[in-house]
Chains A and B, each alone.
Chain A
């Protein structure tokens, strides 16, 4: 069964901490995405990557960075966590083909206190 695995389901971090959210896919997908989801705001794209070491900013990249050193792994980094980054974070992956859909991970609920 194909999978996108997010390393943590729940995280609680303190303001100012550096936070790493990890996402691993086993489908050999080129494209990987990080979204955050907040009530009333829907899904918002933070960053995406279409190849190893390649990244593009999404709609809300401020306060975040990403790393993709291997094809299967895409990391989201909060350089200095703030309370307004408390959210559900979702990772997704896909082939770069228009006849192919997206696979999501199970999500990480991050709380910054």
Chain B
């Protein structure tokens, strides 16, 4: 059974820092990995989707990498801003199923 872990659970940083959020998974036979952002009281917004055959994806200040052999993905946020404050979740699709396994998320606060 796939297990997905996100460490740290919470992070507080000053504005302008470059950040790395981590997502680890136990079964490396994945189809894809998706990063989401969730603002308080709202739904999940997709940020990046990395296919199994890819090593990274980029969107603006966000870059997500995937290393299947080590069971790890990282979300890199460049030049963080207060508007980046949210919870970031990763979801892994694997195991012959169309149901992803979610991590518990990393709660990020970027203070001015």
Q: Which residues of A contact B (CB under 8 A)?
A: 4, 6, 31, 33, 42-43, 45, 48, 50, 58, 88, 90, 92, 94, 96, 98-99, 101-107, 109
Contact = CB atoms under 8 A, between A and B. Distances in A.
A99 B32 contact: yes
Given A42-B102, A90-B44, A104-B44, 9 more contacts: A6-B43, A33-B99, A92-B44, A98-B52, A98-B93, A99-B31, A104-B45, A106-B42, A107-B42
Contacts of B103: 42
Contacts of A105: 43
Interface residues of B, number: 23
Given A50-B98, A101-B34, A104-B36, A109 B44 contact: no
The listed residue with most B CB atoms (<10 A of its CB), out of A90, A96, A98, A107, is: A98
Nearest to A45: B99
Contacts of A33: 99
Contacts of B51: 99
A24 B102 CA distance: 23
A76 to B, nearest CB: 14
**Chain B binding surface, main DSSP class:** strand
Contacts, number: 49
A86 to B, nearest CB: 14
A105 B51 CA distance: 23
List the 9 shortest-distance A-B pairs measured between CB atoms, nearest first.
Answer: A98-B31, A104-B44, A101-B49, A107-B43, A106-B43, A104-B43, A42-B104, A43-B102, A101-B34
Contacts of B49: 101
Contacts of A90: 43-44
The interface centre, meaning the residue of A33, A50, A106 with most chain B CB atoms within 10 A of its CB, is A106
Interface in B40-83: 41-46, 49, 51-52
B98 A96 contact: yes
